[in-house]
Amino acid sequence: MAVDYAVIVVYLAGMLGMGWWGMRRAKSKSEFLVAGRRLGPWMYSGTMAAIVLGGASTIGGVGLGYQYGLSGAWMVFTIGLGLLALSVFFSARIARLKVYTVSEMLDLRYGGKAGLISGIVMWAYTLMLAVTSTIAYATIFNVLFEVDRTWAIVLGGTIVVAYSTLGGMWSITLTDMVQFVVKTIGVLLLLLPIAIVKAGGFGEMKAKLPTEYFDPLGIGGETIFTYVLIYTFGMLIGQDIWQRVFTARSDRTARWGGTVAGTYCLIYALAGAVIGTAAKVLFPKLDNPENAFATMVKEELPVGVRGLVLAAALAAVMSTSSGALIASATVANNDIWARLRGAVAPRGDGEGGEGAGTDRDEVKGNRAFILIMGVAVIVIAIQLDTVLEGLTVAYDLLVGGLLVPILGGLLWKRGTVHGALAGVIVGGLVVIAMMWQYSVLANEPVYYGLLSSLAAYVIVSLTTRPTDAAVLANWRERLSGRGGEEAAGETGETGADGAAGEAGAAEPASVPS
């Protein structure tokens, strides 16, 4: 075990080192929040795959494989499908907008007023996503090293908060690349083949398990449909995902890099299900399916390899946790706090200024919000029990409240700001009410929430004044890649990739212009 501990300590120390290195590059708001919009295909693909494949995809995916067999791959598989759809159909347009948050996109499309409400819903989603990832530390440390659950959450959460606060998106990008490599080696190249061999191969697995474990639809059609609604559509609109799209240096990078990452997710989904199926053969009496991953690592892997695979699990958890954390902080600062402060404070207090001093203030403010959100995530994670429960709450709110207004804004020019607000509010409230009526893990909340959001959006949009022609003209300009950089007056270090205007982003109920 000493060797395994050493591997983990080296890995965690490396994450902190990457955070310190990233701090040297994060000198402006653009560098801190979206890595200067300068990531190339290789780094973009790795970081995008890292953010979407977290603790739920790794520990939860193996757990579903343990419980349902190969059909347990569907949860992660639908995540990959969503990422592919985002990359092929929407990523280029999203990247051209040169904004920082989804709510800024809504304000740009609808002409203001939608940002605060949508920001609150998006903040709740990103916060819960960070919480679910943080909970996963307890599963890893508790089963493998018998570390107390609370201390496991505090330890893992503190390291993520530290490197995220230091360097923002640059630190997270650098750590995600390391985590992507570690995860690939640990899960795909080591744990997967070892699990199959230890279980006696597929022939032995089929002989010892019920036939439904090898039925591609064994998990149930309704469950698969719900996964598509929650995860496939959730990938299209989440702030944590869009914030990675904003880091791409070109349309081509966003499209093809995301396609590579989505394909990787499909492979990862199948690998997790196979590992879980093998675990069912080896350990048929586990009380909690989510312990299947950690039990396999603890009982079946040799010293040294065990530490590397554990590092892979930590990599999966940390990549999603850090991405969700910076997304939550970005939304809280830019979409909620800046707007509320703007409503009660006079303009001209230095937020819209230019120059190095303003850059430092912007970075300092976002750093403070990451720290605050990080502490909140750790505290909430200690109170909750399961990963899938928190993840379901997060995605139900996201899809039920924001899917229709966001996709409607991208695809339907007749949608109005009042329709968008109605869709967000009605959809979100129905999701919450249905969770209370049925249960957190029930399928009904997202069904009713999505349908009510669609009805409210369409009806209110058709019965209110169409969006102003000037707003739509500006929207089309931004979608074509014109207007954002020139107005912002901010470029990356190479001068090729400007970010959205920092002054505009800080203004209440507006977008960079």
Using alpha carbons, list the distances in angstroms from residue 155 to 136, 160, 202, 390, 413. Answer: 12, 9, 38, 20, 48
Q: What is the pLDDT of residue 3?
A: 77
Number of residues assigned to the chain: 513
Contacts of 319 (CB under 8 A, 6+ apart): 47, 50, 51, 53, 54, 175, 176, 179, 180, 183
**What is the spatial distance between Cα 139 and Cα 7, in angstroms, rounded to a whole number?**
18
Q: What is the pLDDT of residue 343?
A: 58
Q: What is the pLDDT of residue 271?
A: 95
Residues of the chain with pLDDT under 70: 1, 139, 142-145, 342-361, 385-388, 390, 483-513
Q: What is the pLDDT of residue 155?
A: 83
Q: Which of 132, 77, 120 is nearest to 440 (CA)?
A: 132
CATH of domain 2-342+363-387: 1.20.1730.10
Q: What is the pLDDT of residue 1?
A: 64
**What is the spatial distance between Cα 114 and Cα 107, in angstroms, rounded to a whole number?**
6
**What is the spatial distance between Cα 330 and Cα 314, in angstroms, rounded to a whole number?**
24
Q: What is the pLDDT of residue 502?
A: 33
- Report H helices in 114-210: 115-145, 149-183, 192-198, 201-208
DSSP lists the bridge partners of residue 491 as: 498
Q: In this predicted model, what pLDDT tens digit does every residue of 409-445 receive, in sequence order?
A: 988 989 999 999 999 999 999 999 999 888 887 888 9
Q: What is the pLDDT of residue 387?
A: 62
Q: Determine the Cα angle at 468 with ends 465 and 470, to 5°.
A: 170
Q: What is the pLDDT of residue 144?
A: 60
Q: What is the pLDDT of residue 359?
A: 57
Angle, helices 102-110 vs 417-437, to 10°: value is 140
Using alpha carbons, list the distances in angstroms from residue 353 to 347, 506, 509. Answer: 11, 10, 18
Fill in the DSSP letter of residue 294: H
**What is the spatial distance between Cα 274 and Cα 268, in angstroms, rounded to a whole number?**
10
Tally of CB atoms within 10 A around 376: 16
